[in-house]
Amino acid sequence: MKKDMVVGVSLSAVAIIVLGGWLIWQAVFPSPVAQWVFYGEKPSEARGFSYPPAKNSATGHLENKPEIPEGDGALLTQWADAKQCSLIVKSGKEKISVTRFNESNQPSVQVRYIDSHDVASELNVQINQGVSFWTYPDAKKPGEYVGWKFDNLAGKPIPIRYRGKELLEGTVYKRLTNGKWSYERFHNGKSVETKELEQLPAISSENEEHELAIVRDANQWLSHKLQKLSESLSVPVPDQWLNSGNDPCLTVNAEI
């Protein structure tokens, strides 16, 4: 019994020492939360890691080692735990940010593009399901945005139009305190139909061809923007963010 007790105490002591050593190691040499690669105009390439903010950090921001270069270029970041990566490309007044989330069963991509006139376009896609939201400036009507939004009742994306943040054409769904949903449809900026729904209809596969056509258009739009920025900067920019068989996140570990 006494021998077993000594062995147990010894193992506990070893475990405490190992845990203490690991905590000290993490404090002195913390694990990176992300790794990144930056391609600049010169051309130049820099690679590094992002670490949690130090305990005495005045800003609370991540610490990049080495520092990410400033100026125009393409920054691709792979996040370790969140299973996502992000791409930010800047060329003069133009800027695009693309984030791909791979942590769920249905990967998704979010895009925000700012053109040279400081006008934004937004794109949200669930890979293998379709476009959930896509707006871009209307070339014929300055100040207005057109595009597509997935509508639960229709079971497919429907055309939408905004003037600033005002919805002119499209639908709005809101969750009510009683657990039900309110539905409201707008036409020419006016509410023309309202109803209360017990629950949101499930996504249907009946309109798959319509979905695929919009995804193809969105993929072409995004590829065109990325290719244009790549050419203007003369730097490599990962493409094909909306394809299920391709993962641009892996580019962080590759030599382009």
Position 59 scores a pLDDT of 55
Residue 11 has pLDDT above 50, yes or no: no
Q: Which residue has better confidence, 205 or 20?
A: 205
Position 212 scores a pLDDT of 84
For 131, half-sphere exposure in the C-beta direction (CA atoms, 13 angstrom radius) is 26
Supply the pTM of this predicted model. 0.81
What does the block give as tokens for 101? 């989330």
pLDDT tens-place string over residues 195-253? 999 998 876 667 777 888 899 999 999 999 999 999 999 998 999 899 877 778 777 76
Q: Which residue has better confidence, 103 or 180?
A: 180
Residue 191 has pLDDT above 60, yes or no: yes
- The pLDDT of 11-40, averaged and rounded, is 58
Band of residue 24 on the pLDDT scale cut at 50, 70, 90: very low
What does the block give as tokens for 22? 């690991």
Position 27 scores a pLDDT of 45
- The pLDDT of 158-171, averaged and rounded, is 95
Band of residue 132 on the pLDDT scale cut at 50, 70, 90: very high
In three state form, how does the secondary structure of the chain look?
A: CHHHHHHHHHHHHHHHHHHHHHHHHHHHCCCCCEEEEEEECCCEEEEEEEECCCCCCCCCCCEEECCCCCCCEEEEEEECCCCEEEEEEEECCEEEEEEEECCCCCCEEEEEEECCCCCEEEEEEECCCEEEEEEEECCCCCCEEEEEEEECCCCEEEEEEEECCEEEEEEEEEECCCCCEEEEEEECCEEEEEEEECCCCCCCCCCHHHHHHHHHHHHHHHHHHHHHHHHHHCCCCCCCCCCCCCCHHHHHHCCC
Q: Which residue has better confidence, 95 or 12?
A: 95
Position 55 scores a pLDDT of 64
Band of residue 113 on the pLDDT scale cut at 50, 70, 90: very high
Give Cα 97 to chain centroid, integer Å: 8
- The pLDDT of 30-45, averaged and rounded, is 83
- The pLDDT of 78-100, averaged and rounded, is 90
Please count the other Cβ atoms lying within 10 Å of the Cβ belonging to residue 81. Answer: 9
Position 119 scores a pLDDT of 94
d(CA 155, CA 84): 28
